[in-house]
Amino acid sequence: METSANVEKLIENVSQLTVLELAELVKALEDKFGVSAAAPVTVAAAPAAGANAEAAPAEEQTEFSVMLTGIGDKKLQVIKEVRAIAALGLKEAKDFVEGTLPKAVKENIPKSEAEEIKAKLETVGASIEVK
């Protein structure tokens, strides 16, 4: 399927937005069209007891998200760390930290990187959750 010039132009513009601008865009689109961009949650039914004696091993999680859940008393230090981690400008990092929590600081990263980011942010007093 071929994309039109308008779609290509829109994709190019969206790819140049910051994380905060993308969040604002998603919110504006949700408000405009009355929809939610949240992924639908499905509930898997548990297999009946004894129905499958050889259960498939659980797939190991390989990508993690670091969620900022609280900023603590050292807001300035948290802003500085978020700015460095997420490669944001000072105003963007401030708006990010002062906005509605919880928020993903970084998503789809290896466990080692998630743990490193969690340690940095907890050192300056932030509350962090790794998902």
Domain ranges of the chain: 1-36, 64-130
Please tell me the distance from the alpha carbon of residue 95 to that of residue 55, in angstroms, as a whole number. Answer: 46
Please tell me the distance from the alpha carbon of residue 111 to that of residue 86, in angstroms, as a whole number. Answer: 17
Q: What is the reported pLDDT for 39?
A: 52
pTM: 0.52
Q: What is the reported pLDDT for 44?
A: 54
Q: What is the chain's mean pLDDT, rounded?
A: 79
The three-class DSSP label of residue 10 is: helix
- What percent of the chain shows pLDDT beyond 90? 0
Q: CA dihedral in degrees (50, 56, 110, 116; nearest 10)? A: 30
Q: What tokens were used for 98?
A: 């002062």
Please tell me the distance from the alpha carbon of residue 25 to that of residue 19, in angstroms, as a whole number. Answer: 10
Please tell me the distance from the alpha carbon of residue 29 to that of residue 35, in angstroms, as a whole number. Answer: 8
CATH class of the domain whose range is 64-130: alpha beta
pLDDT tens, residue by residue, 39-70? 554 555 555 555 554 555 567 777 888 888 88
Q: What tokens were used for 99?
A: 């906005």
Residues ≥6 apart with Cβ < 8 Å to 52: none
